[in-house]
């Protein structure tokens, strides 16, 4: 009986130890799995915030580039050489430094009104610059809006929309649609300061 009692106690102790080790092992696995899940969540959050710190400054830069080119396009008093008074050599030097294409340079040489031809050609070159900048800004907002808060997205989109509408109206005015398009387009661009300031405040709240 003593032998069986000793063996039984030893067997029970062994079973208890094995069960205890198994429980410890399972608990350790659960803790490790939980730790990995937490790390994965924090890693995703960290990556999102890192991307936000990359996206917002770029969007801010593209906003100012699009706005600046649109504003430059709509400045009414612009410098251009007086083609009636400059020499042929000065005219050719000007053509060499200009952004006109070879075809446009040839057409300017033979134009009956060089002043008007150049002003029209320059307008559409600068319009293309402004529209390209606005399109780049617009597409960037679409591609990266998931990294913006709703407040930021709406603030950026408001500026983008105003610039896009202003460029369409300004082109319509140039093509003869009516002077009200000129007034509306210039007003949209010159009155954007409040919307841009709103974007700036929203960006600062996220980055500072």
Rounded CA-CA distance 136/177 in Å is: 27
Task: Tell me the H-state helices in 74-192.
Answer: 88-97, 102-110, 114-144, 150-174, 179-190
- Under 8 Å between Cβ of 126 and 166: no
Q: What is the mean pLDDT of residues 26-37?
A: 62
pLDDT digits (tens, 9 = 90+) for 130-176: 999 999 999 999 999 989 989 899 999 999 999 999 999 999 999 98
Rounded CA-CA distance 8/124 in Å is: 99
pLDDT digits (tens, 9 = 90+) for 79-97: 888 999 999 999 999 999 9
Instruction: Give the predicted TM-score (pTM) of the model.
Output: 0.75
If we measure between CA atoms, which residue out of 38, 33, 63 comes closest to residue 141? 63
**pLDDT at position 33 over 90:** no
Confidence of residue 204 (pLDDT cuts 50, 70, 90): confident
Local structure of residue 147 (DSSP, 8 states): G
**pLDDT at position 45 over 50:** no
Rounded CA-CA distance 110/95 in Å is: 13
């Amino acid at each position: 009986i003593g032998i069986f009692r000793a063996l039984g106690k030893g067997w029970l102790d062994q079973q208890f130890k094995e069960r205890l080790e198994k429980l410890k092992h399972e608990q350790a696995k659960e803790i490790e799995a939980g730790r990995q899940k937490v790390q994965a969540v924090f890693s995703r959050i960290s990556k999102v915030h890192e991307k936000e710190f990359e996206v917002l400054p770029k969007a801010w830069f593209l906003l100012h580039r699009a706005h600046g080119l649109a504003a430059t396009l709509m400045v009414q008093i612009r410098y251009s050489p007086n083609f009636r008074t400059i020499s042929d050599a000065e005219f050719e030097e000007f053509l060499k430094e200009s952004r006109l294409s070879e075809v446009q340079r040839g057409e300017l040489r033979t134009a009956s009104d060089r002043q008007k031809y150049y002003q029209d050609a320059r307008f559409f070159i600068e319009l293309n610059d402004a529209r390209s900048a606005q399109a780049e800004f617009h597409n960037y907002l679409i591609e990266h809006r998931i990294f913006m808060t709703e407040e930021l997205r709406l603030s950026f989109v408001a500026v983008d929309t105003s610039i896009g509408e202003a460029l369409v109206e300004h082109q319509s005015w140039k093509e003869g649609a009516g002077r009200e398009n000129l007034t509306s387009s210039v007003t949209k661009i010159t009155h954007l300061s409040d919307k841009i300031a709103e974007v700036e405040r929203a960006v600062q709240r996220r980055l500072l």
